[in-house]
Amino acid sequence: MKKEASFTVSIQPKTVFIIRSCKTEIEPKAFSQECESLVGLTKYKKPAKREEAPEKADCLTVVSYLFKKTQALDIPLDWIGNMPRLLVEKGWQIEKIQRRSLKMGDLIFLGKRNNQIDHLAVALSAEKVFHVSWKTKGAAIEKIETLFSRYVQPKEIGLFLSSVDPRSVS
């Protein structure tokens, strides 16, 4: 009897919600070089403290380290689900854009379920992202299609801004 191949079809979004700093223009060479240098160096650890980066980091800690080192921008560390709201409160812009319009430094918040935020990646281009996850065991540069085969984004901008990480509620 012939076995049928099983496969997963992921829906690749044409638009994405991003959070972008309006305070500085990303310096592409320094930013991309630092991302490349972290691949193979940074190992996944959750939760990771700021002072453990870049050797050990989770998705938020490594992005905070990256922006501090290359752009002199402080990204506050809090529970990942709270971050979109906190960044917007600090003057970052949230936008829904065409995926092909992604720019280096755009923050992409995602989750395993539609209304949950539990992961962060940073765009390097419209095709590639940098992130740290348990799946990659550390820092990785991947195609954006690979990222969206594992994660989804909330469907409405309001869900980003009203997001409260359940771990921060006592």
Question: What CATH number corresponds to the domain at position 58?
Answer: 3.90.1720.10
Specify the DSSP element, H or E, that contains 159: helix 157-161
In a domain, 9, yes or no: no
> Residue 60, SS3?
helix
In a domain, 24, yes or no: yes
User: Distance of CA 125 to CAs 67, 130, 136, Å?
Assistant: 16, 10, 19
In a domain, 108, yes or no: yes
- Within 10 A of 66 (CB to CB), how many other CB atoms are there? 24
* Residue 100 structural domain: 15-163
> Would you give the distance in Å from CA 92 to the centre of its chain?
15
In a domain, 10, yes or no: no
Residue 147 pLDDT grade (very low, low, confident, very high; cuts 50, 70, 90):
very high
> Would you give the distance in Å from CA 107 to the centre of its chain?
5
Mean pLDDT of 77-101: 90
Q: What is the pLDDT of residues 34-65, one digit of tens each?
A: 999 999 999 999 889 999 999 999 999 999 99
User: Distance of CA 25 to CAs 21, 64, 111, 132, Å?
Assistant: 8, 16, 27, 23
Number of helices and strands in the chain (H, E): 5, 8
In a domain, 7, yes or no: no
Domains contained in the chain, number: 1
pTM summary value: 0.88
In a domain, 168, yes or no: no
In a domain, 115, yes or no: yes
In a domain, 93, yes or no: yes
Contact 113, 154 (CB under 8 A): no
pLDDT exceeding 90 applies to what percent of the chain?
55
